[in-house]
Every structure is written in structure tokens, then in C-alpha cells.
Amino acid sequence: LAMNLWRDGEFGTRVAINYPPAYPILIAPAFAIAENAARFSFIYFLHALVLGLCSLALLPAVHRQLGARRAWIVVGGLQFLGATTFLGYNTQTEALFAALLVAATGLAWQAWDRPSFGRFALVGFVCGLALCTRRTALVLPVALLILFVCDLLEARSAGKQMPFWRGSALLIGFVLGLLPEAIVMFLGGAEIDTYGGNPIKGHLQAAVDGSASLQGMLWGLEITGRHLAYSVVVTFAAPVVI
């Protein structure tokens, strides 16, 4: 997807599955590099850079709890672990998605700690980008909607002015965050059909094929466990953390 986007200015041509566009757009410039190993090194560098920038959003919250020195140690440890584990050797959407989840968590804390239109719009923007990276990012607007409704109920019970401007800022930022989707729809002239086919059926078929041997069944159990753990940590836990 990234190669077609860079070389031909087209998105989704000659590929088996269309993924959301944010990650292909991020790594597309890497295809200006001719040598394969250098290209991948550049992509891994981008991963580390994006995670580094996104994790800085956590600094105010961690600083409040631990102080300046410990806050930098914690954030530096997060950057190091992310850059040297999955993000350092996989060119998959999870690399960008994890970084955006980190940013959304830190920015949401900042927005509710020191409310301003710009901060709430920035949270919405990151949520839009996350949805353009993986569709499971729908958990982020759900989490923010819960917080916004709590704000409205609290203001109503206290007889204060309703903070509808927060919802407006979140919505404006969210729409702006969907720009990668708008760009590729403009290039292709049609809506993106992401994750073509039935992914659940594909996974089940792989499990059936693997059950023919003991080793295949063990691999199936291991991979299933990883999928469940990933979903719990990254998807279902996101609203709880925020």
C-alpha cells in the first residue's frame, strides 16, 4: 500500500487487503530509498520517532505523580522498550496505533486537567488519526464520550454552565484527524473497503488447518493467546485507562 501510494499516487491497487491509510501514508516516503535494508531502517527510525513524540504527552501526568526526574526516567524507559521490542522490527499498523494510544491517554489527562478548546481539539485529532490506523480505535471516542457525559451530568447537578464546547472541540479535532481517510478517498475516487473479506472466518480456517498435527495445535493455542492478550491490553483496556 505504501509503495503504491509513493510510486503511483494510488491507494489500494494490486493488494489482497486494504488497511486503513494512516500507517501506509506514514511510511510511504521510505520508498524513496532504493536499498531494501536502508528502507526498513528508516521505517524503524520513524517508529521510534513517533513513539518518542507521542510519549511526551504523558510527561505532565507522570510529573504530577512522580516529580520531574522520575517522570523523565519513566517516559525514557517507555520510549526505549517500545523502540527496541515490537516497534523496532515490525512494519505493521500496531506500531503507529500503540503510539497514538499513548498520546491519546496523555492528552486526555492534560485536557481535563487544564481545560481549553485547543487541548480538547488535539485529543479529538489524535483519536481521528487512530481510527485511520486501526478500526478498533473506535474505543477512544467511546471513552471520551463517557467522560464528556460525566462532565455534563456533573455540571447539571452543580447548577453550572454546561460545557458543550468540550464536545464541539473534540468533534472538530476528530474530523480533522480523519484527513488521511479523505486523502486516499480523493485519490481513489471511492470509499475505502478495509479488511476485505471476513477476517474471523480466515482465522478460523487457519485454526482448522493447524489442528491436523500436535505442533499445529500448540501454535494455534499460542497465537490465540497472543491475540486475546493484545485485544485486552490495547483495545478493551483503552477506555478504562483514559
Residue 151 contacts residue 101 (beta carbons within 8 Å): no
Reported pTM: 0.81
**Of 31-40, 59-68, 160-169, 182-191, the least confident:** 182-191
Using the 8-state DSSP alphabet, how is residue 202 labeled? H
pLDDT bracket for residue 85 (50, 70, 90): confident
Query: What mean pLDDT is reported for the chain?
Result: 86
Number of helices and strands in the chain (H, E): 13, 0
Average pLDDT over residues 46-51: 91
pLDDT bracket for residue 241 (50, 70, 90): low
202 CB neighbour count, 10 Å cutoff? 12
Report how far apart, in Å, the C-alpha atoms of 49 and of each of 46, 76, 110, 155 are. Answer: 5, 12, 22, 40
Residue 139 has pLDDT above 90, yes or no: no
Using the 8-state DSSP alphabet, how is residue 52 labeled? H
Task: Give the list of residues 6+ apart from residue 29 with CB closer than 8 angstroms, or none.
Answer: 6
The C-alpha atoms of residue 190 and residue 136 are separated, in whole angstroms, by 22
